[in-house]
């Protein structure tokens, strides 16, 4: 029996992970499940999977969680400290699927206990990539990517010598606004940004896909996880989302990874790695698909990509600042306080301000300096909003 925990169990990735676990219930001993305000779903899954502990991120949700789990013997806990405590429980495999920088500390804690960390929470690599990778290395833990593009690159590299890689291409669907003019993008509404043409995901990443901030985070994620130079990493718009990534080698060969747009693919690969097992994902019928469409991304309409390149050039705390400003700007867009294009304007202003004044270059990233930069960037993003 493999002991596993799922952080962000009530979200889109968490639920897809649980779907795979439930199909092979006997193989897993579920230790911790965590969620947010969706206490009923969390309690339901904790019961169904016989978890040891269910954790809600919010203290005010604890009474409801306790109530929902009464008589089951399943422990109910709440708050940031409880999340870290849950991450300290001995397991073989941990899914990191909390959304946002809130996923960083639990992931780091889990790594310190030598678990294999299936990492969907790309924000932790963007904010603190070197810290996370160093922590995995020094504790003999392993991080497996759970982003469709990064899982694809990882798979294309199996058996290859990474020094022979010339370039890596991650694909982007282009989102719902792929062919919108800059003028029209100004008017993009929340409901329109929440509809993704090919993937079914949580609300935040869906909006990030519409603005291409998701791809911007993924550029940095590729750099931090695999260590490729920024100029080796390219973004290619591919509306169908069948090709997830391509790896180009020194002899000109391009190895592509194709699959249905279903995250159970990347999750299942990380769950069974280094083996491959049957997965309940649709098989591609390429004759039926007929044509694969590709186009270059437009950094003028989607400035997030250009900003990601600046972040990689600055290094240090720039990733933490970029991600936090983006999260704050996204909160403002979700609450309809700013327009769609204002998100990139806010992020760019915060990044410029913070990289010109105090230096974002630090000797070493620590959880403390990352969280401090994160906090300041969020505060600045809210002040920039007032000047718009
Ligand atoms: P989601 O919004 O559906 O779920 C997020 C989960 O995190 C929920 O369980 C929620 O309760 C929990 N959570 C939210 N805020 C929290 C906080 N402050 N503290 C603790 N827990 C909190 O998100 P998702 O779409 O499943 O995405 C999860 C992560 O996976 C993100 O980092 C995202 O970028 C990444 N990812 C998602 C997909 C996808 O298809 N959904 C694909 C690739 C990567
Ligand atoms: Mg992705």
Confidence of residue 357 (pLDDT cuts 50, 70, 90): low
3-state secondary structure of 112: helix
Residues 94-152 have pLDDT tens digits of: 999 999 999 999 999 999 999 999 999 999 999 999 999 999 999 999 999 999 999 99
Residues 322-334 have pLDDT tens digits of: 999 999 999 999 9
CB neighbourhood size of 61 (10 A): 20
Residue 122 beta carbon below 6 angstroms from any ligand 1 atom? yes
CA distance linking residue 129 with residue 219, whole number of Å: 12
Residue 8 beta carbon below 6 angstroms from any ligand 1 atom? yes
Residue 201 beta carbon below 6 angstroms from any ligand 1 atom? yes
- Output the pLDDT for position 361: 86
DSSP character at residue 383: H
- For a mutational test of ligand 1's pocket, the pick from 11, 19, 208, i.e. the residue with the most ligand atoms closer than 8 A to its C-beta, is 11
CA distance linking residue 362 with residue 195, whole number of Å: 39
3-state secondary structure of 98: coil
Q: Give the distance (Å) from ligand 1 centre to CA of residue 295.
A: 29
Residue 297 beta carbon below 6 angstroms from any ligand 1 atom? no
Residue 246 beta carbon below 6 angstroms from any ligand 1 atom? no
- Output the pLDDT for position 135: 97
- Output the pLDDT for position 334: 98
DSSP 269-333: HHHHTTS------PPP-HHHH-----B---TTT-THHHHHHHHHHH-TTHHHHHHHHHHHHHHHH
Give CA angle at 370 (112, 154), nearest 5°: 60
3-state secondary structure of 22: helix
Residues 136-195 have pLDDT tens digits of: 999 999 999 999 999 999 999 999 999 999 999 999 999 999 999 999 999 999 999 999
DSSP character at residue 89: S
DSSP character at residue 88: T
How confident is the prediction for the chain on average, in pLDDT? Answer: 97
DSSP 180-242: --HHHHTT--HHHHT--SS----HHHHHHHHHTHHHHHHHHHHHHHH---GGGEEEEE-TT--
Task: Ligand 1, residue 8: give the atom nearest the CA.
Answer: 9
DSSP 316-359: TTHHHHHHHHHHHHHHHHHTTSS-TTHHHHHHHHHHHHHHHSS-
* The pLDDT of residue 26 is above 90: yes
Residues 221-251 have pLDDT tens digits of: 999 999 999 999 999 999 999 999 999 999 9
Cβ-based neighbours of 31, under 8 Å, separated by 6 or more: 3, 4, 5, 51, 52, 53, 86, 89, 90, 91
Residue 118 beta carbon below 6 angstroms from any ligand 1 atom? no
Confidence of residue 358 (pLDDT cuts 50, 70, 90): low
What percentage of the chain reaches a pLDDT higher than 90? 98
3-state secondary structure of 93: strand
Indicate which residue's Cα is closest to atom 32 of ligand 1: 121
CA distance linking residue 258 with residue 265, whole number of Å: 11
114: enclosing H helix or E strand:
none
Which bound ligand lies closest to the C-alpha atom of 215?
Answer: 2
Residues 245-274 have pLDDT tens digits of: 999 999 999 999 999 999 999 999 999 999
């Amino acid at each position: 029996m493999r002991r596993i925990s799922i952080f962000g169990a009530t979200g889109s990735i968490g639920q897809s992970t649980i779907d795979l676990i439930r199909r092979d219930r006997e193989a897993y001993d579920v230790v911790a499940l965590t969620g947010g305000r969706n206490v009923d779903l969390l309690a339901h899954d904790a019961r169904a999977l016989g978890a040891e502990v269910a954790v809600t991120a919010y203290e005010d949700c604890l009474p409801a969680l306790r109530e929902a789990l009464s008589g089951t013997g399943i422990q109910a806990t709440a708050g940031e400290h409880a999340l870290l405590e849950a991450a300290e429980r001995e397991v073989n495999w941990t899914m990191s699927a909390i959304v946002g920088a809130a996923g960083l500390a639990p992931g780091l804690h889990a790594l310190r206990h030598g678990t294999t960390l299936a990492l969907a929470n790309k924000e932790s690599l963007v904010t603190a990539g070197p810290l996370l990778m160093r922590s995995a290395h020094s504790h003999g833990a392993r991080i497996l990517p759970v982003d469709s593009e990064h899982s694809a690159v990882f798979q294309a590299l199996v058996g290859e010598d990474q020094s022979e890689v010339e370039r890596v291409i991650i694909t982007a669907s282009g989102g719902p606004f792929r062919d919108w003019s800059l003028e029209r993008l100004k008017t993009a509404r929340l409901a329109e940004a929440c509809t993704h043409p090919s993937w079914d995901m949580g609300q935040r990443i869906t909006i990030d896909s519409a603005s291409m901030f998701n791809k911007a985070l993924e550029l940095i994620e590729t750099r931090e996880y695999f260590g490729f130079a920024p100029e080796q990493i390219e973004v290619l718009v591919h509306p169908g989302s069948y090709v997830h990534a391509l790896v180009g080698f020194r002899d000109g060969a391009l190895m592509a990874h194709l699959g249905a747009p279903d995250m159970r693919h990347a999750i299942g690969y990380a769950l069974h790695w280094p083996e491959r097992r049957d997965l309940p994902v649709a098989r591609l019928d390429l004759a039926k698909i007929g044509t694969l469409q590709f186009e270059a991304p437009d950094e003028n309409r989607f400035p997030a990509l250009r900003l990601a390149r600046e972040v990689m050039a600055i290094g240090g705390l720039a990733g933490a600042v970029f991600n936090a400003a983006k999260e704050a700007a996204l909160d403002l867009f979700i609450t309809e306080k700013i327009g769609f294009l204002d998100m990139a304007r806010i992020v760019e202003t915060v990044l410029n301000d913070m990289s010109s004044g105090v230096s974002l270059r630090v000797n070493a990233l620590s959880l403390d300096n990352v969280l401090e930069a994160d906090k300041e960037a969020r505060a600045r993003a809210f002040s920039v909003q007032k000047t718009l």
